Chain A
């Protein structure tokens, strides 16, 4: 199987979907001539032309709304936000227009749009450029929220998101773009709403998504080698709709769980996961569910402070010890 970067996997997805369906177009800052701020859209302008790969001024609210308007009359836009931090400017269109249009119109106007871009922290970008907002969007009925962790998942999920008839918030990661992984050749998609067991074990469940999948896998390896604790590592892949069945199946097997996420703890994605577990698997829990999240602070600039603010394998291992009652 070929090895691709996460970035190139996304590029392939865009290319394939734009070939397949002429109503798909890409719009955003620097997507065309610049080849993409993070090079995700490299080569697309040359291949598809200006009509389908549209560079915008810096006007997130404006071009997000243009995307929604185009979707209202039958196109399938892919709107790129340079990062999800800037997308706050556009949040009125994402929520008040895209998410609600179908419902408010009594079912007349589906909005088949994808809003995509990198979310979460990179390295020392500071408080305004490091935010993981999946919980904001996952809260909204009418939106779907996807956060792939690997190149294979990224390609398959982006294709499905583009084909989905609902507005999809697609969260990538600057720190993920260079990661490499196997990507199947030929046509494939991955359905939204299905988690993926990235590692199998029986002593504890680690639930994660996006950048924390690597963190959880690293912790699982150490847990296995040093403490003989074997972990299920469940990659959510889609935040909304959430694959609750997969979560419950794992927790019923292991009886203990640690949720690992990059975002802030208060009302975060993990809070929803914990609710699902305590609600339906109450009698299967041998310990309260633990969360390892980003620190509840704006992201600091200093390198060490930043590292301390992010989830790490060490923090995951500490949490596992707590739920397994290991010294």
Chain B
């Protein structure tokens, strides 16, 4: 029985893949699960596994070629088997998607990492590292847990025999696909869906009509960073690894502020707003040819050092295109920092379905008036973009005030 090797959708938003390397050659023996090739997707370099066993009889795509998802790239069969009929068929559609979303991807989905253009809410297709030609293997318990938590099995890698997804594979598994209706955080805090009130519906409708799909508005604040700077120096002087950066502090402050202003830690869902109890921050990272937003989970529970370690690890792997789908999806709020590129101030575009994003500029020494005299202090400008359907001006402003206060008085983080 011949096995068709097709270009698989290896990320939620992938539409085509570039074949970077063949690890098996025509004539090689192949077992189920062997890595056949490396494929570059829109996000990372992924492995293409064999889903059958036998001999790699035919390789159809050369190194360097870009192939649409679903197209036939190779055939595995028994040594003497006639595969002419297989080669003659058009490539199968990848519409069989185990536990994935029932619909095919709608019109082109700009990836979530594509800033600054406003992006439509994405309708991702479920991807399937575990789905062999459409069927997800999972223990009954794993299926139940996934169902209860709204986790999409199709994107979970199974560690059981034959790729079976088992309970431990779901431990810590959180939101995977970005489709709001289907995904949910499995984080300790959970979430609560609040149906829209009449006033919210009216605001949403009128603002969308005037400003496009996500009605942005922007709030800027200037923050005195002297104390934050001192705090960083003092912590790093303790001599322990890793050394933390200002960005780590900003990340933690934003998380703590969101805990105090949960109205900003939310998703727009069309007919309701999802308010999260825990904070998962997306950190915009510039990578070759684009931008990606790895997610640090449960920032509200993590200390500065751990934040630092994770930020560095995620950024590094993002640049190497080695992130797993569950590592760049599921944030409740995002931060974009262009300070290291010398930008004083900018407005970032919200990653839907999130309700807000904070754009952070450089820390510069500027003259300021203080007690009637001129002093030179380190200052930083932060601009918050808000989805007006979820966050009003006053709400966003209060959040920003808290951010400012915490950065200007670092101990306020734990007040």
Contact = CB atoms under 8 A, between A and B. Distances in A.
- Are A and B direct contacts in the complex by CB distance below 8 Å? yes
Interface of A: 255, 282-287, 325
10 residue pairs, one from A and one from B, having the closest CB atoms? A286-B141, A283-B144, A286-B167, A286-B139, A283-B140, A282-B140, A285-B140, A255-B141, A286-B166, A285-B141
A283 B168 CA distance: 15
B74 interface: no
Given A325-B159, A325-B160, A287 B166 contact: yes
Nearest to A278: B140
Contact of A287 (B139, B143, B144): B139
A282 B138 CA distance: 12
Contacts of A255: 141, 167
Interface of B: 139-144, 159-160, 166-168
Interface of B, secondary structure class, is: helix
A58 to B, nearest CB: 52
16 contacts: A255-B167, A282-B140, A283-B140, A283-B144, A284-B144, A285-B139, A285-B140, A286-B140, A286-B141, A286-B142, A286-B166, A287-B139, A287-B160, A287-B166, A325-B160, A325-B166
A283 B166 contact: no
Contacts of B143: 283
Contacts of A284: 140-141, 144
Given A283-B144, A284-B144, A325-B166, 13 more contacts: A255-B167, A282-B140, A283-B141, A284-B140, A284-B141, A285-B139, A285-B140, A286-B139, A286-B140, A286-B141, A286-B142, A286-B166, A325-B168
B157 to A, nearest CB: 14
Contacts of B140: 282-286
Contacts of B139: 285-287
Contacts of A283: 140-141, 143-144
Nearest to A322: B161
B255 to A, nearest CB: 33
A282 B141 CA distance: 8
Contacts of A287: 139, 160, 166
Nearest to A284: B141
Contacts of B167: 255, 286
B170 to A, nearest CB: 10
A26 to B, nearest CB: 49
B110 to A, nearest CB: 38
A278 to B, nearest CB: 9
Nearest to A281: B140
